Structure 1
Amino acid sequence: MGLTRKQISTVAVLLIGTFVVVLNQTLLSPALASIMRDLSIDAPTVQWVMSIYSLVEAVVIPLSAFLIGRFSTRQLFITGLIIFTAGSLLCAFSPGFIFLLLGRVCQAIAAGVFMPMIFTVLLLIFPREKRGSAMGLVSLVIGFAPAVGPTLSGVLVDSIGWRMLFVVITVVGVLLVLSAVKFLENYGDFERTSFDKLSVLLSTVGLVCLLYGLSTFSSTTNPAMTAGFIVVGLVVIAIFVRRQLKLENPLLKVTVLKTRNYRIAIIVAIINFGVLIGLGTILPLYLQTLRGFSALETGLTLLPGALIGAFVGYFAGRLFDRWGVRKCVVPGVTIFFVGTLGFLIFDMNTDLLVICAIYTVVALGIQFLTTPMNTWGINSLDNSVIQHANAVTNTLNQVSAAFMTALIVSISALGSIIAPNADPTMQLYEGDHLAFVATAVLAAIAFIIVMFFVRDKRKRDTHIAPRSMQQFSPSENTDEIPVSRAMNPEPYFVTSTATIREVAQIMVDNKASGVPIVDHNKMVVGFISDGDIMKYIGRNDGILDSTYMLYQVPDPQTFPQRISKLIDMNVMQIATKNVIAVKSDSSLEDACHLLSEKRIKKVPVVEEGELVGSLSRADVIRGTMANIVTIKAMAEKDDAKKPQLA
């Protein structure tokens, strides 16, 4: 990867920190029933340990730019880890629910502070040409952590108890703090920014009031007070939004929501994320409190959906580049909606495998929908406001997670109202069934939005970079024209020790768009194109797009800095190493198909791996014209072979 040993240690610390933070968001799902029994609280109350985490993170995320500009990355990461570890310790030994909630607040503050910072530092550590690897590592961690969280939680809860979850996190946190003190260095010189204190106060008060009202409306003994909290929350949030529109440097630049495609993408995204997190709360409660399954069985039920969803989310992004948005999101939202309808068949005897299969279908649909929708929305914005869109997206995702969890769990508590004469078990069932109906309604809203409002602006013309070695063998049809008749037998090439300066000079002198790279035996080991050079010197923003986070960091290098660094770089650092090549006795027709299908301009021509020529689109045209007499004769011969119609 081109990193020093200390940089590798730093990356390891940052990735483990990322894993623990993301894991912490889903770890508690199978433990909720145990916490309810141990602390003698009901479902609308216990959901606060999930929703308060998302809510606090939503308030803190917009402050990350201010904190990164005010403190060094080393100070911020270590301090954040200490707060996170202290919160975990408080949760582990909390004597009551209030202390558990306070510990979760500490964890969320730390997560909101250093998650954006971790992503930024990783981009600065990795060489520019290796940033794709950095994004792949972070995406893998963020996709894997939620998958193993419920299963790990189930094992610990069933064998030891829910407090052991926080003991394990505390121990890992202490080890991370010690590792960070030893290995972590400061990276980046970030611009100092300020923030509007009143905006922070308004957002906090408004969100907390609204969340409290939504989480207590089903169990309150004072409906007027609950309604008052909801009204106050909405009014304060409206004041917050109005203030953001007036400030020159707002905490959240809500004007990005004026862009139609981005606004549509945000609405669908918050439904997706809210339903996913909400199901992660209500489904374990259904399985454990109503059906009597263990925490481990609950975790294993959620595992396939999380694992498959993580891989689907990765491939959905690639399919978006090839197909466009609609061909991705229509199947995704359909699977999502149909899957939520499956929840409506749950009863007191539904097999665990059926529950697992239906949840997996829903998770698959959500993941297949999320990445293309996020990318489509971000692509509709000007580059100058993408950073603000990141903050809006991540904040609203966390707000959605908090509110959807509170709403769905509160709806599940309505069982005693809709079935007042039923026994307690049936009241639980009726409440959970109503909560599943609510998720289906939310999925239906997403389905309608996607079907009627999401459109491809135009067909995408995406270059597909060659990623695997392909050598086209000669055709058995001796009547076909071989590549050797059209290729350039004296190709331009560079050795694997050449610099980009030498490559650029060859391209300029010979008006070449690409040059093969050979070793000392003239064996092809790579290919450098003008596209590879443009990709390096063009702006390369770091993008992380997952269900749990959307983040984009602007390229820290200026255009002159990128050119200055590139010009004396070894050619193999940015070249395509797995080269697509053709053999000299291959069919020219097959070679034309290759150039067209892969959308490339030139390929090396080889014999047993050794460079013997090159074939470009221009070579094909010249070769065709030079052999036009022969080609016409072959065509007449082919016509003569056709059977005559009676």
Structure 2
Amino acid sequence: AQGDDWGYGDARTLGALGGAAVLLPLFVARCARATSPVLDLGLLRHRFFSVANAATLLFSVGFFAMIFVNSQFLIGVWGYSIQGAGLAFTPGPLLAAVFAGPAGRMADRYGHRVVVVPGTILFSLGILWLIAFVGTEPAYWSVFFPSSALVGVGVGLAVATIGSASNAFLPPNRFGMGSAFNATCRQVGAALGIATVVALLGEPAPDEALAAFDRAWTFLAVAGLAAGAVMLALYRRPAPEGSPGEVTDRGPAMVPASTSTVPAT
């Protein structure tokens, strides 16, 4: 995020990258040895936990960057005020709130990926709508509102459901740790997404603005579809019926709460 200001060859930029390269392996090594680690690495061997968190990261790349990109477009290209841009966003969050509750009940009944995958598709369709129909002249009701509605429904179906999918089959004594890791994936995805679209947008001339936003929107749509593809392809592993730790469309059998680590599934 600071690359343009500092310069990508600046000592501060390189120092931050180098620090991350050193500290992350040290963190992993510490977690592997500690008797009470911040992150139980055994969780990462749990297929459903790992897949759901990968999907969380990918969807967060698109979702949080979408807020930034669309606000920049409304203000910078369509000439909306900050307050006007905020009001223009309103339908999306309202629809997300309306659909989030039923999405949770559907996930409990039919399985998480049955809800998450359509949500990611609707999110990406909303972004692709902008690519297909947006122009330099404001067209809120015919262009931005339908996009916002599709995105809002998609977010309502996907966001909370992906989060619950990451914890759905963990033992209760790992719920807190699992939730914290999922939140970390969400924040990392947000940072990566926003940093990427800032680079994609750059500072285009007025006659190049639409092309720059199309690049950013394409990136957002791909991120959303990638999250759905991960859930569709990997959030299921059949097991012989009645076998220990059986895995079905709705996940593996719950590990007893007294288990201190999560076995691979």
Q: TM-score with structure 2 length normalisation?
A: 0.78
1:458 is matched with 248
Shift of 1:284: 1.0
Shift of 1:319: 1.0
The 3 A distance-change label for structure 1 pair 257 and 363 is: farther
The 3 A distance-change label for structure 1 pair 459 and 272 is: closer
Q: Deviations over 1:259-312 (max 9, x none)?
A: 111111111122223422222222111111222112232112110100110121
Shift of 1:449: 1.0
1:349 is matched with 137
Amino acid at match of 2:233: F
1:249 aligns with 2:30: no
The 3 A distance-change label for structure 1 pair 308 and 228 is: same
SS of 2:136's partner is coil
The 3 A distance-change label for structure 1 pair 249 and 337 is: same
Q: Deviations over 1:587-636 (max 9, x none)?
A: xxxxxxxxxxxxxxxxxxxxxxxxxxxxxxxxxxxxxxxxxxxxxxxxxx
User: Structure 2 matches for 1:275-354, cutoff 5 A?
Assistant: 275-345=62-132, 346-349=134-137, 351-353=139-141, 354=143
2:219 is matched with 438
Amino acid at match of 2:8: P
Shift of 1:388: 1.1
1:599 is matched with none
1:409 aligns with 2:198: yes
- RMSD across aligned positions (CA): 2.5
2:254 is matched with none
1:596 is matched with none
For the 8 Å contact 1:272–1:366, the answer to whether it is kept is no
Which of 182, 191, 201 is 1:393 aligned to? 182
Which of 19, 27, 37 is 1:240 aligned to? 27
Amino acid at match of 1:275: G
The 3 A distance-change label for structure 1 pair 254 and 290 is: farther
Larger radius of gyration: 1
The 3 A distance-change label for structure 1 pair 254 and 458 is: closer
Amino acid at match of 1:224: G
Q: Deviations over 1:470-498 (max 9, x none)?
A: xxxxxxxxxxxxxxxxxxxxxxxxxxxxx
Unaligned runs of 5+ residues in structure 1 are 1-214, 417-423, 461-538, 540-646
User: Structure 2 matches for 1:606-625, cutoff 5 A?
Assistant: none
Identity of aligned residues (%): 22
CA distance in 2, matches of 1:426, 1:241: 48
Q: Deviations over 1:92-143 (max 9, x none)?
A: xxxxxxxxxxxxxxxxxxxxxxxxxxxxxxxxxxxxxxxxxxxxxxxxxxxx
CA distance in 2, matches of 1:459, 1:229: 42
1:363 is matched with 152
Shift of 1:361: 0.8
CA distance in 2, matches of 1:454, 1:241: 25
Shift of 1:340: 2.4
For the 8 Å contact 2:121–2:154, the answer to whether it is kept is yes
Q: Which has the higher contact order (CA 8 A, sep 6+)?
A: 2
For the 8 Å contact 2:59–2:189, the answer to whether it is kept is no
Amino acid at match of 1:431: A
CA distance in 2, matches of 1:379, 1:447: 18
For the 8 Å contact 2:65–2:194, the answer to whether it is kept is yes
Q: Deviations over 1:189-217 (max 9, x none)?
A: xxxxxxxxxxxxxxxxxxxxxxxxxx144
1:379 is matched with 168
For the 8 Å contact 2:74–2:85, the answer to whether it is kept is yes
User: Structure 2 matches for 1:45-64, cutoff 5 A?
Assistant: none
Q: Deviations over 1:441-500 (max 9, x none)?
A: 21121132122112384366xxxxxxxxxxxxxxxxxxxxxxxxxxxxxxxxxxxxxxxx
User: Structure 2 matches for 1:80-99, cutoff 5 A?
Assistant: none
User: Structure 2 matches for 1:511-526, cutoff 5 A?
Assistant: none
Shift of 1:232: 3.7
CA distance in 1, matches of 2:177, 2:75: 41
More helix by share: 2
The 3 A distance-change label for structure 1 pair 249 and 221 is: closer
Amino acid at match of 2:212: G
For the 8 Å contact 2:62–2:221, the answer to whether it is kept is no
Q: Deviations over 1:136-177 (max 9, x none)?
A: xxxxxxxxxxxxxxxxxxxxxxxxxxxxxxxxxxxxxxxxxx
CA distance in 1, matches of 2:129, 2:24: 36
1:271 is matched with 58
Q: Deviations over 1:478-531 (max 9, x none)?
A: xxxxxxxxxxxxxxxxxxxxxxxxxxxxxxxxxxxxxxxxxxxxxxxxxxxxxx
For the 8 Å contact 2:63–2:220, the answer to whether it is kept is no
Amino acid at match of 1:259: H
1:223 aligns with 2:8: yes
Shift of 1:220: 5.4
Q: Deviations over 1:524-546 (max 9, x none)?
A: xxxxxxxxxxxxxxx9xxxxxxx
CA distance in 1, matches of 2:6, 2:209: 19
CA distance in 2, matches of 1:227, 1:428: 31
The 3 A distance-change label for structure 1 pair 364 and 300 is: same
